[in-house]
C-alpha cells in the first residue's frame, strides 16, 4: 500500500522498523536512513525476510536539508518518520515541505544549545503544510503521543467536558545498572534537569526541577514516587482540549537514578555549555552520553513493567466523573518480540501506527497537527492489535 522513510536508527527506530515490517500490508517498502549507515544495514539484516516488506538503507545527515531532499526524491515515501533527535525536527519538516511529503515525529523541536522545547516553531509550518496539501503529525510516540490519543478518546467517548488531566509515566523496570537512561541520554537528562511546569486556569506555572513530588499506586507495578516535569503535550493539550483547567505531567524515578543525577549535576557533567578540554571544545552532557550505556542495549537486562496513562476528571451528562486510561508493557516481553526494552517499544509502536493511519488515509487532516486532533478510535484499535493493549478504570484514585 505505501512507503515510509525512517530517519534515525536508534532504540525507537529499531522498534518502529520491526513493527512496520510486521504490518507489511500497509508498509510495502521502508527505507531506514541514518548518519551511521552500518547500523541501518545491521537492522535490515535482522528484518529481511520476516515479511513481504521490502527494506533498503541509506546514509543521511538529518541536519542537511539538501541531503534530505535528495533522499526523499529518490525514495519517494508517502511519509517520513523522524525518529532521530528533536534537534532535527525543523530540518526534516523543511525537506518534507519542499518535497510535499507527509511528516511524523515523536519529540518536540529543541535547539542543541538551549534545553527548552516548545511547539511555536513547528506550528509555524501549519499554513505552509496546508497549502502544500500535506500532513505533519507531531509527537506520535507514547508521551507525547498515546497520552494525547488517550485524552481525545476520553473526550469522544466518556466526557462532555474535561476539567483536569494528569499524565502519569511510570517505568517500574530495572536494568541492573546504577545509572542509565531508557532513551537517548542527552535528551532524557536535558528534560529532567530543566524546570518543571504545569498548566492551570489558562496559565503556565513554572516550578524548580523536580520540586513537586507525589506517589501513586500503579496497576501491575505498585506504589512509586513521581515528579512533576515540563512536557510538550501540556502545551498542545491546553490548546486543543476546550475548557481544560489543569494539565500536569509526572514521571517516576528510582532513588539510585536521582542520587547519581544529582551528583552528576553537582560536578557539572549535565551541562550543555561547551568547555575547553585538551585543545578541543566538548559539551559535558555529550561526553556523559558517550560513557553511559546505550539505551538500545538495555533490552536484554531489563525486567519489570511500564505503566503510562492519563487520569482524567470532568463532567458527563451533568455528573462529575474520574477516568483512568493506561497501558502496561512488560520489558521482557518486548525484548522477546523485537529485542528492545519497553521504553523504546512504547515509542516505536505508536510511531508505526501514526504512519500507517496516514498511509491508509484514516488520518488525513492537512497542516501541522498534534495527535489529539485526529480520530482516536483507529489508533486505539491499532494499539490493541500491535502490542500495547489499553486498560480503563472508571473509578480511579485521583492524583492529590
Ligand atoms: P537514539 O539516540 O537511540 O537514536 C537516535 C538516532 O538518530 C541514532 O541512530 C543517531 O545516529 C541518529 N542521528 C543522530 N544525529 C543524526 C543526524 N545528524 N543525522 C542522521 N541521524 C542522526 O535515540 P532514541 O531512539 O532513544 O530516541 C529517538 C527519538 O525518540 C528522540 O527524539 C527521543 O526524544 C524520542 N522519544 C520519544 C518518546 C515519546 O514517548 N514520545 C520516548 C522516548 C524517546 P547514530 O546511531 O549515528 O548516533
DSSP string across 5-20: EEE--SHHHHHHHHHH
Report which protein residue has its CA nearest ligand 1's atom 39: 141
Q: Ligand 1 centre and the CA of 50: distance in Å?
A: 24
Which set of grid coordinates corresponds to residue 294?
546505550
Q: Ligand 1 centre and the CA of 223: distance in Å?
A: 31
Ligand 1: which atom is nearest the Cα of residue 139? 41
Please tell me the CATH superfamily of domain 2-138, with its number.
NAD(P)-binding Rossmann-like Domain (3.40.50.720)
Ligand 1: which atom is nearest the Cα of residue 294? 3
Ligand 1: which atom is nearest the Cα of residue 185? 2
Q: Ligand 1 centre and the CA of 295: distance in Å?
A: 10
Q: Ligand 1 centre and the CA of 16: distance in Å?
A: 12
- Per-residue pLDDT 10s for the chain (400 aa) are 999 999 999 999 999 999 999 999 999 999 999 999 999 999 999 999 999 999 999 999 999 999 999 999 999 999 999 999 999 999 999 999 999 999 999 999 999 888 788 999 999 999 999 999 999 999 999 999 999 999 999 999 999 999 999 999 999 999 999 999 988 998 999 989 999 999 999 999 999 999 999 999 999 999 999 999 999 999 999 999 999 999 999 999 988 999 999 999 999 999 999 999 999 999 999 999 999 999 988 999 999 999 999 999 999 999 999 999 999 999 999 999 999 999 999 999 999 999 999 999 999 999 999 999 999 999 999 999 999 999 999 999 999 8
3-state DSSP assignment of residue 378: helix
Dist. CA 183–CA 185, nearest whole Å: 6
pLDDT score recorded for residue 274:
95
Q: Ligand 1 centre and the CA of 308: distance in Å?
A: 21
Ligand 1: which atom is nearest the Cα of residue 187? 34
Which set of grid coordinates corresponds to residue 9?
536508527
Dist. CA 304–CA 63, nearest whole Å: 36
Which set of grid coordinates corresponds to residue 392?
480503563
Strands in 14-146 per DSSP E: 27-34, 54-59, 79-82, 102-105, 135-138
Measured at the CA of 195, the angle between CA 245 and CA 161, to 5 degrees, comes to 15
Strands in the chain per DSSP E: 2-7, 27-34, 54-59, 79-82, 102-105, 135-138, 161-171, 196-200, 203-207, 213-218, 222-228, 246-252, 275-277, 280-282, 305-316, 319-330, 367-370, 390-393
Q: Ligand 1 centre and the CA of 15: distance in Å?
A: 12
Q: Ligand 1 centre and the CA of 315: distance in Å?
A: 39
Q: Ligand 1 centre and the CA of 294: distance in Å?
A: 11
Q: Ligand 1 centre and the CA of 189: distance in Å?
A: 14
Report which protein residue has its CA nearest ligand 1's atom 3: 10
Dist. CA 73–CA 77, nearest whole Å: 8
Dist. CA 281–CA 269, nearest whole Å: 14
DSSP run (H or E) holding 336: helix 331-338
Q: Ligand 1 centre and the CA of 296: distance in Å?
A: 10
pLDDT score recorded for residue 114:
83
3-state DSSP assignment of residue 83: coil
Ligand 1: which atom is nearest the Cα of residue 86? 32
Ligand 1: which atom is nearest the Cα of residue 12? 25
Give 327-330 contacts, CB < 8 A, sequence gap 24+: 327/142, 327/146, 327/383, 327/388, 327/389, 327/390, 327/391, 328/219, 328/220, 328/221, 328/389, 328/391, 329/305, 329/387, 329/388, 330/304, 330/305
Ligand 1: which atom is nearest the Cα of residue 144? 41
pLDDT score recorded for residue 264:
95
Inter-CA distances, 273 with 42, 149, 269, Å: 34, 36, 10
The reply to whether omega before 144 is within 30° of 0 (cis) is yes
Report which protein residue has its CA nearest ligand 1's atom 11: 35
pLDDT score recorded for residue 400:
84
Ligand 1: which atom is nearest the Cα of residue 63? 18
Closest CA to 304 of 194, 141, 172: 172
pLDDT score recorded for residue 38:
98
Task: Give ligand 1 pocket residues (Cβ under 6 A).
Answer: 8-13, 34-36, 39, 60-63, 83-86, 106-107, 141-145, 183-184, 187, 295-296, 343, 347
* DSSP 8-state code for residue 47: H
Q: Could you write out the three-class secondary structure of 177-194?
A: CCCCCCCCHHHHHHHHHC
pLDDT score recorded for residue 296:
84
Based on the number of CB atoms within 10 Å of its own CB, is 165 exposed (0-12), middle (13-18) or buried (19 or more)?
Answer: buried
pLDDT score recorded for residue 323:
98
Q: Ligand 1 centre and the CA of 10: distance in Å?
A: 5
Under a CB-based contact definition with an 8 Å cutoff, are residues 132 and 97 in contact?
A: yes
Dist. CA 289–CA 187, nearest whole Å: 10
Ligand 1: which atom is nearest the Cα of residue 9? 9
Dist. CA 285–CA 269, nearest whole Å: 6
Residues of the chain with CATH 3.40.50.720: 2-138
Report which protein residue has its CA nearest ligand 1's atom 23: 184
**146-339, CATH topology level:** Dihydrodipicolinate Reductase; domain 2 (3.30.360)
Which set of grid coordinates corresponds to residue 99?
518535497
Residues of the chain with CATH 3.30.360.10: 146-339
Dist. CA 314–CA 311, nearest whole Å: 10
Report which protein residue has its CA nearest ligand 1's atom 2: 184
Dist. CA 150–CA 374, nearest whole Å: 11
Residue 31 burial (CB count, 10 A): 25
- Which residue's C-alpha cell is 496497576? 219
Q: Ligand 1 centre and the CA of 141: distance in Å?
A: 12
pLDDT score recorded for residue 265:
93
Amino acid at each position: 500500500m505505501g512507503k515510509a522513510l525512517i530517519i534515525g536508527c536508534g532504540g525507537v527506530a529499531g522498534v518502529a522498523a520491526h513493527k512496520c515490517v510486521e504490518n507489511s500490508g500497509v508498509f510495502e517498502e521502508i527505507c531506514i536512513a541514518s548518519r551511521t549507515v552500518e547500523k541501518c544495514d545491521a537492522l535490515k539484516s535482522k528484518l529481511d525476510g520476516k515479511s513481504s516488506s521490502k527494506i533498503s538503507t541509506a546514509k543521511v545527515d538529518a541536519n542537511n536539508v539538501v541531503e534530505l531532499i535528495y533522499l526523499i526524491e529518490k525514495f519517494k515515501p508517502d511519509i517520513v518518520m523522524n525518529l532521530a533527535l528533536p534537534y532535527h525536527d525543523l530540518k526534516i519538516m523543511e525537506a518534507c515541505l519542499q518535497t510535499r511529503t507527509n511528516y511524523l515525529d515523536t519529540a518536540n523541536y529543541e535547539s542543541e544549545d538551549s534545553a527548552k522545547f516548545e511547539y511555536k516553531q513547528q506550528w509555524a509550518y501549519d499554513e505552509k503544510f496546508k497549502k502544500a496539501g500535506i500532513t505533519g503529525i507531531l509527537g506520535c510516540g507514547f508521551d507525547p503521543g498515546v497520552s494525547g490519543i488517550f485524552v481525545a478518546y476520553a473526550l469522544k467517548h466518556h466526557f462532555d467536558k474535561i476539567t483536569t488531566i494528569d499524565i502519569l509515566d511510570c517505568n517500574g523496570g530495572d536494568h541492573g545498572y546504577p545509572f542509565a537512561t531508557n532513551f537517548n541520554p542527552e535528551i532524557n537528562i536535558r528534560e529532567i534537569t530543566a524546570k518543571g511546569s504545569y498548566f492551570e486556569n489558562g496559565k503556565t506555572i513554572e516550578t524548580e526541577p523536580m520540586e513537586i513530588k507525589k506517589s501513586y499506586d500503579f496497576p501491575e507495578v505498585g506504589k512509586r514516587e513521581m515528579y512533576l516535569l515540563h512536557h510538550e503535550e501540556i502545551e498542545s493539550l491546553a490548546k486543543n482540549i476546550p475548557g481544560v483547567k489543569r494539565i500536569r505531567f509526572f514521571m517516576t524515578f528510582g532513588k539510585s537514578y536521582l542520587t547519581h543525577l544529582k551528583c552528576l549535576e553537582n560536578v557539572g557533567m549535565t551541562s550543555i555549555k561547551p568547555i575547553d578540554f585538551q585543545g578541543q571544545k566538548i559539551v559535558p552532557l555529550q561526553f556523559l552520553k558517550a560513557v553511559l550505556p546505550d539505551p538500545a542495549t538495555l533490552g536484554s537486562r531489563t525486567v519489570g513493567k511500564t505503566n503510562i496513562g492519563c487520569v482524567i476528571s470532568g463532567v458527563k451528562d451533568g455528573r462529575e466523573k474520574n477516568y483512568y486510561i493506561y497501558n502496561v508493557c512488560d520489558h521482557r516481553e518486548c525484548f522477546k518480540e523485537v529485542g528492545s526494552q519497553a521504553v523504546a517499544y512504547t515509542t516505536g509502536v505508536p510511531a508505526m501506527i501514526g504512519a500507517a493511519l496516514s498511509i491508509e488515509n484514516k488520518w488525513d487532516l492537512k497542516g501541522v497537527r498534534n495527535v489529539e486532533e485526529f480520530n482516536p478510535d483507529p489508533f486505539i484499535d491499532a494499539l490493541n492489535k500491535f502490542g500495547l493493549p489499553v486498560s480503563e478504570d472508571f473509578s480511579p484514585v485521583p492524583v492529590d
